[in-house]
Amino acid sequence: MNDKHFYWRLLKVFNTSLAVRQVHHFAFIILYIVSVPSPNPKPFLNGISFYLSPFFERLAYWSAVEVFQIKTPLLTTFISDSTILYIHVFNIFIIAFVLSIFSLLIKNKNKYKHQFKYITIVLIRYYVAAQMLLYGFSKVFKWQFYAPEPNILYTHLGQLSNDILYWSTMGGSRSYTIFGGVLELLIAVLLLFRKTQLLGALIGIGVLANVVAINFSYNISVKLYSTFLLFFCFYLVALERKRLFVFFFKNEKTLPETPWFPVWKTDLQIRTYRVLKTLVIGLMLLNSLFLYISTDNFNDDDAPRSVHHGAYQVDFFIKNNDTIPPLLTDTTIWKRFFIHRKNYFIVQKMDNTMQDFELIHLDNNSLSFLNPMTNDTSSFSVLQQNDQLILEQNQLRIETSKVNLDDLPFSKKEFNWTVDEFFMK
């Protein structure tokens, strides 16, 4: 065999491997997008994953039990960072690999590699843009990082888990959450257009690398999901690695863009493309904004709360007409109680331990809650006098005063250009 034939065959094998890899990328990315639900709820459009994930969940559970021989109890749904979600990613990687091997049977497959590349890139761009729109608006409108609930504000710092501590800190600043949301919305807008997709992916790497670091560092359970979003941005940037190398390291004119995208030639093709793109972007925006428009809530900090929501300081704990003194070691006496926005009734005892109850009923006249550990129900009559709330049950009377949470140091939005006033106090 002469050198010419050898290099020609080597080039043919290399081109074939490129085509197979392109099919694998294409299949893996499509399988991930259509099978893994987003942790951020989709209020208007459920997406294909809503219908396909049950099948893949059963497959992943079977793999966990039969292939990986996992004996411990497992969740059966694709909840963020669940075991079967990790196994599902392994499954679709193998399925995509098998599909790419079968692609070897396709004749003239190299002529389709640009189509595979185009569809893969468009799917990644629009998928990441859709997630950035959902998370960006949820930050801007203060839904993701909501204001800490009253019981959190009265929980000792050392008793908070890392994820709740981070969430509460973020919830204390609307300006910073808006800043983070605007960055994510910027990524979405840039990714929606081919000419700005590289810039969007580069900014996405910066923003999402920070998100991934936070999720791992504070043990927030969207590690796999955020890692995939970061991976998709790296994938888009890697497509332009040669041009970026020339621009940043050689300080030369960038190379011409690789013509991987179709060129619309006729007026009908151009109009059809623009109409379809406008429709898709419109649906994505509606999907992202529907929840806020339907609830008329564009700042969750100012949204109405349930009746009697807040923190209440116990002034008198009266049983059988005797006022029980507030002993710090007595775990039967309430120090405070909190009415949570998500239908929880939380009691803080004298030793500062918290006990959660499920709030069954609450109005201006009565209150009922359930102990989830014992299934026992407690009911109180309610009497409101200005800022006082009085609970009565048989021979028990609890007189409380509502705490003004705005007076807490955490709730005061202070800003200072200089530090002089702190040193001059």
Long-range contacts at 325-333 (CB < 8 A, ≥ 24 apart): 326/350
Give 66's DSSP letter: I
Of 295, 219, 247, the closest CA to residue 43 belongs to 295
Q: What is the pLDDT of residue 41?
A: 59
* pLDDT tens track for 294-342: 889 999 988 888 888 999 999 988 888 887 777 666 678 889 999 999 8
Q: Where do the H-state alpha helices sit in 309-380?
A: none
More confident residue, 59 or 7: 59
* pTM (2 d.p.): 0.86
Whether 401 shows a pLDDT value over 90: the answer reads yes
* Cα-Cα end-to-end distance for the chain: 90
CATH code reported for the domain at 310-405: 2.40.128.280
Whether 390 shows a pLDDT value over 70: the answer reads yes
Are 241 and 198 within 8 A, CB to CB?
Answer: no
Provide mean pLDDT across the span 159-184.
93
Length of the chain: 425
Q: pLDDT band at residue 356, thresholds of 50, 70 and 90?
A: very high
Q: pLDDT band at residue 133, thresholds of 50, 70 and 90?
A: very high
Q: What is the pLDDT of residue 243?
A: 83
Q: What is the pLDDT of residue 61?
A: 93
Q: What is the pLDDT of residue 15?
A: 46
> How far apart are alpha carbons 88 and 72 in whole angstroms?
17
* pLDDT tens track for 176-212: 999 999 999 999 999 999 889 999 999 999 999 999 9
Q: What is the pLDDT of residue 137?
A: 95
Domain with CATH 2.40.128.280 in the chain: 310-405
Whether 240 shows a pLDDT value over 90: the answer reads no
Provide mean pLDDT across the span 9-20.
50
Q: What is the pLDDT of residue 109?
A: 56
How far is Cα of residue 160 from the mean position of the Cα atoms in its chain?
Answer: 20
Lowest pLDDT segment from 15-24, 158-167, 326-335: 15-24
